[in-house]
Amino acid sequence: MSSLTAFLLLIGLLVFVHEMGHFLVAKWCGVRVEQFSLGFGPTILSFTRGETTYKICLLPLGGYVKMTGESDEGGAFVENISGGAKTPFEKGDTILSIDGADIAPDSSWKEIVNSLRGKDAPGETVVRRNNSEMLIKASGEDFERIEAYSGDEFPRSFSRKSVSRRMAIVTAGPLMNFLLPFILIPVAFLAGVYVPAYLESEPVVVRIADGADKAVRKGDKIVSVNGGTVKKWRDVSSALSGKDGVARIEIERGGKVLPLEVSTRGIDPELIAEEREAVVGGVADGSPARSAGIKAGDKIVSINGRKISGWNQMASVIRESAGREIDLALKRNGKTVKTSVVPITMPGSKNAAIGITLKREQILKKFGLIESATGGIRRAAEMTVQVISLFFALLFSIIGGEMSLGQVGKTVAGPLFIAKMSGAMAEQGIASLLMFASFISVNLAVVNLLPIPVLDGGHMVYLTIEAARKKPLSRATLETAQRIGFSFLIVIMLVATYNDVTNLWGGIAEWLKSLTGMLGGN
């Protein structure tokens, strides 16, 4: 599957789910929905069912649900035709103007009909029907035969609903994005996900890293945790999940079974379950490591002349070297390669990093139906908490002055990055793509709740203010806020696209450099 196809499927799913949340709750609240759109710009495909036009548009980066009364475009809405009377109007029409006079949203339909009473000669009336405008001839009698309402009068208008119902409609979109991982991740578990190979091996202690409980030793085999038998490291991990404090374990040591009381963090499999050499598994785009020429498969053997024995030691040295250049010696294809890199402080953390991940053996693990449901839901909850925690940590770092806006700007990723990652995840399998879609879905929910005009969070602020002051904000205020919010989003998109292009160009430049070397015979 190509990156573009994977990206379109991913974005299409996330936008559909988000807008479906708005749509379903709007219908439940009795609001008339005029349009349900996936994408923006020119329409590629559309059809009308009932009073709603459904369409797919050219630009896939978003979508919208257009509800009657959500904006101040004016017009009168034909709700019913009296007793099957013959009339040029149809139920669902929006009357835009009569004899050249536009119908304002605050017009009184009753007064309009009274002014037309006795007018026998058909006049020119502009209506919107099935998303197209047309000119029809209608007499005063025709207007008396229809039940219609101006925007501010229409009982099924968004603006006529209570603040609580409008708040429910607005929050439904982000809520659906929060809920989506609780469906996708169990499906991913059922399809099979890649897990560290050690999780499927016997729980024998193979190393004692910093932070490990001193009561355990290399060679110990864990046979029970808090009274429950464990046969694999995966069982140990599950038994410790979400727990803190003291754990009661039994171990086999020297042919004997010994009871121990240890800290739950001290027997975390990450600390004692696998040998972790300082071998690079991946290099992040735009990272210091990428700029320094570090590649997947490189083994870091020394930092500033100090021999490195494992991943944890290496990570510890890097964490403490924020903003200071360090010299690395790497083993690559049997040869020693030297380079220098400057670790940077990562968003939401006080620790420094260079943008590399650990190389570890992984296996494809398929779970049963019950285990997929329980494990998938638990993983979805953990992911949601992690994303929200990281967001607030980043926010507090900005407020506290620990990170500048310039540093934050460099971490913003846009559609090109998501497209590239979508393709990479699709190559690993459907489960990886579903996990990535879940991660993006939670991020989309969090971003949409930001109190920025144009976003759902901005509308929630409007409604909160309206509830407090017992009346809505003025139309002029709303229009000004919308313009500011839209301008802000344009700037963010430009920054994100710049970052994407910069990182993408770095990858292209690296590829051209390697190609030049090959042609040169090096």
Contact between 423 and 6 (Cβ < 8 Å): yes
Regarding whether 513 and 418 lie in a shared domain, the answer is: yes
The Cα–Cα gap between 207 and 274 comes to 7
* Helix residue ranges per DSSP H, 84-180: 109-116, 140-144, 163-179
The tens digit of pLDDT for each residue in 334-381 reads: 899 999 999 987 655 567 888 888 888 888 888 889 989 998 998 899
Q: Answer whether residue 121 is part of any domain.
A: yes
Regarding whether 314 and 208 lie in a shared domain, the answer is: no
Regarding whether 372 and 486 lie in a shared domain, the answer is: yes
Regarding whether 468 and 385 lie in a shared domain, the answer is: yes
Q: Answer whether residue 237 is part of any domain.
A: yes
Regarding whether 514 and 384 lie in a shared domain, the answer is: yes
Q: Answer whether residue 64 is part of any domain.
A: no
How many residues would you count in the chain? 522
The Cα–Cα gap between 403 and 347 comes to 8
- Sequence-separated (6 or more) residues with CB below 8 Å from residue 318: 303, 326, 343, 352, 353, 354
The SS3 assignment for 238 reads helix
Regarding whether 395 and 338 lie in a shared domain, the answer is: no
Regarding whether 126 and 260 lie in a shared domain, the answer is: no
Contact between 219 and 205 (Cβ < 8 Å): yes
The pLDDT assigned to 509 comes to 45
Per the structure, the complete domain to which residue 385 belongs is given by 368-519
Long-range CB pairs of 44-50, under 8 A, 24+ apart, other chains included: 46/131, 48/130, 48/131, 50/92
Regarding whether 379 and 306 lie in a shared domain, the answer is: no
The pLDDT assigned to 366 comes to 84
Q: Answer whether residue 165 is part of any domain.
A: no
User: Which one of 218, 243, 272 terminates a domain?
Assistant: 272
CATH number at residue 250: 2.30.42.10
The Cα–Cα gap between 165 and 281 comes to 49
User: Which one of 328, 360, 392 terminates a domain?
Assistant: 360
- Measured CA distances, 360 to 136, 275, 277, 333 (Å): 71, 9, 9, 18
Q: Answer whether residue 502 is part of any domain.
A: yes
Please count the other Cβ atoms lying within 10 Å of the Cβ belonging to residue 415: 16
Q: State which residues of the chain have pLDDT below 50.
A: 508-522
Q: Answer whether residue 399 is part of any domain.
A: yes
Regarding whether 432 and 338 lie in a shared domain, the answer is: no
The Cα–Cα gap between 126 and 133 comes to 7
The pLDDT assigned to 508 comes to 42
What is the DSSP annotation of 245-303? SEEEEEEEETTEEEEEEEETGGG-HHHHSS---SBEEEE-TTSHHHHTT--TT-EEEEE
Please count the other Cβ atoms lying within 10 Å of the Cβ belonging to residue 405: 8
Regarding whether 444 and 378 lie in a shared domain, the answer is: yes
The pLDDT assigned to 1 comes to 63
- Measured CA distances, 30 to 111, 130, 162, 441, 452 (Å): 26, 20, 11, 27, 27
Regarding whether 420 and 344 lie in a shared domain, the answer is: no
The Cα–Cα gap between 414 and 187 comes to 27
The Cα–Cα gap between 206 and 188 comes to 30
The tens digit of pLDDT for each residue in 202-260 reads: 999 988 877 888 889 989 999 999 999 999 988 888 888 767 788 899 999 988 999 99
User: Which one of 360, 382, 409 terminates a domain?
Assistant: 360
The Cα–Cα gap between 235 and 7 comes to 35
- Measured CA distances, 409 to 192, 291, 305, 347, 406 (Å): 36, 18, 34, 11, 5
- CA torsion sign for 421, 426, 431, 437 is positive
The Cα–Cα gap between 456 and 465 comes to 14
The pLDDT assigned to 151 comes to 72
State the helix-helix crossing angle for 475-519 and 456-469, rounded to 10 degrees: 160
Structure-derived torsion over alpha carbons of residues 169, 174, 178, 184, reported in degrees to the nearest 10: 90
Q: Answer whether residue 227 is part of any domain.
A: yes
Regarding whether 496 and 435 lie in a shared domain, the answer is: yes
Q: Answer whether residue 507 is part of any domain.
A: yes
- Sequence-separated (6 or more) residues with CB below 8 Å from residue 230: 203, 222, 223, 224, 236, 239
Domain count, the chain: 4
The pLDDT assigned to 168 comes to 96
- Residue 151, token pair as written in the block: 């925007």
